[in-house]
Structures are given as C-alpha cells and as structure tokens.
C-alpha cells in the first residue's frame, strides 16, 4: 500500500522564452508540439541524490515514518551521482538507515514503474516490509544544449513513495507489467557516459520513432494491467502517465477512453523528468486531494531501451 508521496523540484525555472533567447526555438513551437511551458533545472552542484533525498524526506513525513523504518530503497535514475556506488546508498546514509538494502534501477523513463515492481515483489516475498521507491533525475547534465530537438524537452526533479506491506491485499499494488525491446537501443540513448565507453555523452533521440511507440505501448500496457485484474477502463479513477509530451498523454487517454479530467498532467510545468515524472505527478495529485483512498490508479511509462510498462494501484 502507498502510505506517502513526496516531491522535490529545483528552485530555478527556465521558461520557453528563456530558451528561445539561447537557441533557435520559440515558445510557440515548444508549447504547440509538446505542451511544455517551463522546466526546473538543478543548481550547480545540486545532484540527483540531493533531489532524491528532499523528495524522500517529504514522502517519509507523509507516511509518518523515518529512515530507520525503511528496509529497502529502490532508486530509479539514468543520471546517478557517480558510476558507482548506487545513488540509493547515498540517500540511505543521509536518511540514517543502517540496515536493509539500497540500490539503483536503470530503465530510463520507465524506471519508476520498474522500481515499484521490484519493491512490490520484494514485499510480496516477505523480503521487505516498508520500501522507499524513488525516481530522481538531473537530465539537464546529459543534454546537448545546442540540439533544439531534445534540450527543450527535459527538466530535473525527484519524486518518492513509501510502500508498505498490508494484510488482506484489498488496497495496494494490484499488478505491475514490465516490457523491453532492445532492438530500439539506438533510438533513445546517451552516446557515451559512465561505463564501458569511457567517454562523456549526450542524449540522442529519434523523436518521431519514440513518439510512435509511446502512443501505442503506454495504452497497451494499461490494457494488459486492467485485463489481468478483470477490470475495464470504466473502473479507472486516474491515469498517471509518464510526462514526455502532452500530445502523447492525450492520445493515451483517448485510446483508453478516459476524459482528460481523469488524467494527471504536469508536463506543462515540469517537462520530461524521466523516471521522476510519475512520482512527481502522484505527489501533486495526492497533495491536492485528487487521488484519494480507495480509488483505482493506473500508471504507465515508456522510455529508452525501449522499455515500457504499467502499474495498477488501489489507493
């Protein structure tokens, strides 16, 4: 069961107009094609672990517990502080958690769904009682700021949820479905970076191809989740989709026959924060009372790999 959600966005907001003063783009192009109006950008020296820690503290506070009560941290990120150790271990130490285990998961924009699945499965197996699941990214550090086709699309941020074992199983994660297809490795990737290439790298994307897959895969994976639970889209109270492009979000909503009033949207103010978009959206919609106890919430994402997947949750 999800018992607390927290979010953190860096203080600095960069508007489309500000970008248009630096590169050949315009507020009109960005808002019309993507729905994005602004993004938050981390300060110099502000790292993924700092964002993750701030979001985690808020989630723990909402759940009424502290680091010592957590036995597993799963942090989804494609922008870890260092190649190793896992950024999750830095968060673990900062939260004063000395037992249990903390590790990172890498599934880019689908990372939060993967992390949630991992934590949920560990709880189901009795390997953990209370998990902290985080999505945290500083994509601003891996963007080619000369490439207008990508740099306008992303932002920095972090979101976290506390997941607890429950008796009975009426509320909580009903199912998770994970998919990947490595044949699309080169359609959305960083051309270097920490690891075996030994070079620094920047994000590269075949935008149209990613778009085409996103509109199909996100709706498809929600359908799979509903089917597996004997439910239909009529039963859904909320769709919390990965936030990459408002047109992708609207198309996913249409495919699932959901009115936009049932779809949580943050992309206009936060742009694409990769693994952080879903927990950021959850935190916002829980804080303002839209997502409430007993409701049925579907989350879905698609990203580099390609990876995609869904989670169905009875709140």
> From the candidates 109, 151, 177, 245, which is the catalytic residue?
109
Helix (H), strand (E), coil (C) string for the chain: CEEEEEEECCCEEEEHHHHHHHCCCCHHHHHHHHCCCEEEECCCCCCHHHHHHHHHHHHHHHHCCCHHHCCEEEEECCCCCCCCCCHHHHHHHHCCCCCCEEEEECCHHHHHHHHHHHHHHHHHCCCCCEEEEEEEEEHHHHCCCCCHHHHCCECEEEEEEEEECCCCCCCEEEEEEEEECHHHHHHEEECCECCCCCECCCEEECHHHHHHHHHHHHHHHHHHHHHHCCCCHHHCCEEEECCCCHHHHHHHHHHCCCCHHHECCCHHHHCECHHHHHHHHHHHHHHCCCCCCCCEEEEEEEECCCEEEEEEEEC
> From the candidates 16, 151, 272, 286, which is the catalytic residue?
272
> Is 242 assigned a catalytic role?
yes
> Is 272 assigned a catalytic role?
yes
Question: Which residues lie near ligand UT7 (CB under 6 A)?
Answer: 25, 29-30, 33-34, 109, 148-149, 152, 188, 207-208, 210-211, 214, 242, 244-245, 248, 272, 303
Residues with Cβ within 8 Å of residue 44, at least 6 apart in sequence: none
Residue nearer to ligand UT7 on the CB measure, 73 or 248: 248
Q: Which of 91, 92, 134, 138 is nearest to 114 (CA)?
A: 134
Residue nearer to ligand UT7 on the CB measure, 8 or 112: 112
Q: Which of 275, 284, 266 is nearest to 110 (CA)?
A: 275
Contact predicate 75/270, CB 8 Å: no
> Is 5 assigned a catalytic role?
no
Nearest distance from residue 218's CB to ligand UT7, in Å?
Answer: 10
Residue nearer to ligand UT7 on the CB measure, 95 or 115: 115
Residue nearer to ligand UT7 on the CB measure, 60 or 138: 138
> From the candidates 16, 242, 245, 286, which is the catalytic residue?
242
Residues with Cβ within 8 Å of residue 194, at least 6 apart in sequence: 80, 82, 83
- Catalytic residue positions? 109, 242, 272
């Amino acid at each position: 069961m999800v018992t607390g959600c927290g979010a953190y966005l860096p203080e600095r907001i960069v508007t489309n107009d500000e970008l248009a003063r630096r590169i050949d783009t315009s507020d009109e192009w960005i808002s019309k094609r993507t729905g994005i109006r602004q993004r938050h950008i981390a300060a110099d020296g502000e790292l993924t672990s700092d964002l993750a820690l701030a979001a985690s503290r808020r989630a723990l506070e909402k759940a009424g517990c502290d680091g010592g009560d957590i036995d597993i941290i799963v942090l989804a990120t494609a922008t870890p502080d260092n190649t190793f150790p896992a950024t999750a271990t830095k968060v673990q130490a900062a939260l004063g958690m000395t037992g249990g285990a903390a590790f990172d998961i890498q599934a880019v924009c689908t990372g939060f769904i993967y992390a949630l699945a991992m934590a949920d499965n560990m709880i189901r197996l009795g390997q953990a009682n209370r998990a902290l699941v985080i999505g945290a990214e500083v994509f601003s550090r891996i963007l080619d700021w000369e490439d207008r086709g990508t740099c306008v699309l992303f932002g920095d941020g972090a979101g976290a949820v506390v997941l607890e074992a429950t008796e009975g199983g009426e509320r909580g994660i009903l199912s998770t479905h994970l998919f990947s297809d490595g044949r699309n490795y080169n359609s959305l990737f960083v051309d270097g970076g920490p690891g075996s290439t030994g070079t620094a790298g920047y994000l590269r994307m075949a935008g149209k191809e990613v778009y085409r897959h996103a509109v199909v895969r996100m709706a498809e994976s929600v359908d799979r989740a509903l089917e597996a639970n004997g439910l239909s889209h009529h039963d859904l109270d909320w769709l919390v989709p990965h936030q990459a492009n408002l047109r992708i979000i609207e198309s996913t909503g249409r495919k699932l026959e959901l009115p936009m009033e049932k779809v949580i949207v943050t992309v206009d103010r936060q742009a694409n924060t990769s693994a952080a978009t879903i927990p950021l959206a959850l935190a916002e919609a829980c804080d303002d009372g839209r997502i409430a106890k007993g409701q049925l919430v579907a989350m879905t994402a698609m990203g580099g790999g390609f990876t995609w997947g869904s989670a169905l949750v009875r709140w």
